[in-house]
Amino acid sequence: MPVLPWRKADKFSLNLINLKGRGQVATIIHTGDLHLQENAEYRWEALGELVKTARDRKADIMVICGDLIEDGSDSKHIWQKFKNYIKGENFYVLVAPGNQDRYLKDEESTREISPVIVSSLEEPVEVENIRFWGIPPGFKNDMELGRLLRTWARRLDYEKTDILLYHGEIMDKTYERSQLGGELKERYLPFKLEWVQEFPVDYILGGHLHSNYESFKLQNGSYFVYPGAPVSITRRDTGKRKANLVYPGQEPLEITLNTFHYQQLNLFLNPDDAWHSLESLKEYVSSLLPSAYLFLGVTGFVDFNFMGIDKNTMEEEIRKLVFSYCNGELRFEVQDVSDLIDSDLYCKYIDYLKSANLSLEDKEKLKTVLLQAMVGLFHEN
Ligand SMILES: [Mn+2]
């Protein structure tokens, strides 16, 4: 293979010596879908967090699998800003263009200077014994991609680690549009994992799925990984954000990033165990990262007399508790049912439910239905 692209650059050859010193075991950090643009500070902060993680883990290579730059922004400027951001770092940055990266598809990158755009199935970017391949832009259909991959398979080498970078939607699973950032109506660059499961490819590192980290082991022993967006792009991207760590030869490793992300919790209180639910709320928020933004909904029915607290105080207490851990928004729509709980009708109904031959879950549901009806009847006028 012709290229050892880093040989020419001094700072890279230093790194290669380190690589050799560690028995040629490289550390690769894999991410995608940063959607960088001006006025989206959280996304730049997420890039900062990724850079920090790469330093801490002594990564040799950072792989960004597409949608680096949000469409419609001043791509040239953002690309320059991105390059400045990673300048001088002691790891190589490889970028595979995604559906948003129209600009990068036409951008030439020299193989000597990081970041390098990876979009060839003919000539890999090679770092020591690791070869990175990318999907060239401009496919008419998946038949064409399948055919191209079969040609590519002949170039793979059992002696080396071959890694394919891919931004698109695999056909082996069905994803909601919202899990992909709601970007496109159609599947982008549809790809079947079975196309490559006979090939001696070691890893397929993906991008395009925003919602979460996913890893599959293929029949040939290789791995396919979607790391998920490293920062919440839309409100649907809930939960802690992840990146993927690859030590060639080993199973990919999911790591948690302390980057901006949404969380969503709907807490339904009912008169019998509101205390218990509030305790579980405390447990839940204490497990959140400070970078979380929580949409918290608290609804249901509470016997405030019994709890010895009034509605406003409860709302304030919840607000104080939750927002001492993270930022967010509280929707507090709890109904006071103190008076209804003592009514004859409710007591009789509860007695009836106790003896009824129903599952606990059904009994709870019926209780809620009655409370809803009673609140409607007695409180609305
Ligand atoms: Mn995408």
The string of pLDDT tens digits covering residues 245-277 is: 999 989 999 999 999 999 999 999 999 889 999
Tell me what the mean pLDDT of segment 152-172 comes to. Answer: 92
The string of pLDDT tens digits covering residues 298-332 is: 999 999 999 999 999 999 999 999 999 999 999 99
Q: Which of 71-85, 248-262, 366-380 has the lowest mean pLDDT?
A: 366-380
Q: How far apart are CA 132 and CA 176, in angstroms?
A: 29
Give the pLDDT confidence score for residue 110 in this predicted structure.
73
Contact between 268 and 71 under an 8 Å Cβ cutoff? The reply is no
Give the pLDDT confidence score for residue 260 in this predicted structure.
98
Total length of the chain: 381
Alpha-carbon separation of residue 61 from 137, 166, 248, 275 (angstroms): 23, 16, 12, 50
- The fold adopted by the segment(s) 10-257 is Purple Acid Phosphatase; chain A, domain 2 (3.60.21)
Q: How far apart are CA 170 and CA 152, in angstroms?
A: 18
Give the pLDDT confidence score for residue 114 in this predicted structure.
86
Nearest CA-CA partner of 163 in 300, 306, 29:
29
Give the pLDDT confidence score for residue 381 in this predicted structure.
52
Query: What's the pLDDT band for 51 if we cut at 50, 70, 90?
Result: very high
Peptide bond into 190 cis (omega under 30): no
Contact between 67 and 33 under an 8 Å Cβ cutoff? The reply is yes
Give the pLDDT confidence score for residue 187 in this predicted structure.
86
Higher model confidence: residue 157 or residue 292? Answer: 292
pLDDT surpasses 80 at 49: yes
Grouping H, G, I as helix, E, B as strand and the rest as coil, residue 147 is helix
Averaged pLDDT score across all residues of the chain: 89
Tell me what the mean pLDDT of segment 123-148 comes to. Answer: 86
* Ligand 1 centroid distance, CA of 157 (Å): 29
Q: Which helix (H) or strand (E) holds 169?
A: none
Q: How far apart are CA 254 and CA 225, in angstroms?
A: 10
DSSP 224-254: EEE---SS--STT-BS-EEEEEE-TTS--EE
* Ligand 1 centroid distance, CA of 33 (Å): 7
Q: Which two tokens stand for residue 222?
A: 């290789």
Q: How far apart are CA 210 and CA 12, in angstroms?
A: 32
Q: What is the pTM of this model?
A: 0.87
* Ligand 1 centroid distance, CA of 72 (Å): 14
Q: Using a CB cutoff of 5 Å, list residues around ligand 1, an ion.
A: 67, 98-99, 208
Give the pLDDT confidence score for residue 15 in this predicted structure.
42
Query: What's the pLDDT band for 242 if we cut at 50, 70, 90?
Result: very high
pLDDT surpasses 50 at 10: no
* Ligand 1 centroid distance, CA of 47 (Å): 17
pLDDT surpasses 50 at 1: no
Q: Which residues, other chains included, contact 28 with Cβ-Cβ below 8 Å and sequence gap of 6+?
A: 59, 60, 61, 62, 63, 130, 163, 245, 246, 247, 248
Query: What's the pLDDT band for 335 if we cut at 50, 70, 90?
Result: very high
* Ligand 1 centroid distance, CA of 180 (Å): 7
* Ligand 1 centroid distance, CA of 100 (Å): 6
**What are the boundaries of each domain within the chain?**
10-257, 261-379
DSSP 36-85: B-TT-HHHHHHHHHHHHHHHHTT-SEEEEES--B-TTS-HHHHHHHHHHH
Contact between 56 and 27 under an 8 Å Cβ cutoff? The reply is no
Query: What's the pLDDT band for 56 if we cut at 50, 70, 90?
Result: very high
* Ligand 1 centroid distance, CA of 189 (Å): 10
Give the pLDDT confidence score for residue 113 in this predicted structure.
78
Q: Which of 17-31, 43-57, 206-220 has the lowest mean pLDDT?
A: 17-31
pLDDT surpasses 70 at 20: no
Percentage of the chain lying above the pLDDT 90 cut: 71
Give the pLDDT confidence score for residue 310 in this predicted structure.
94
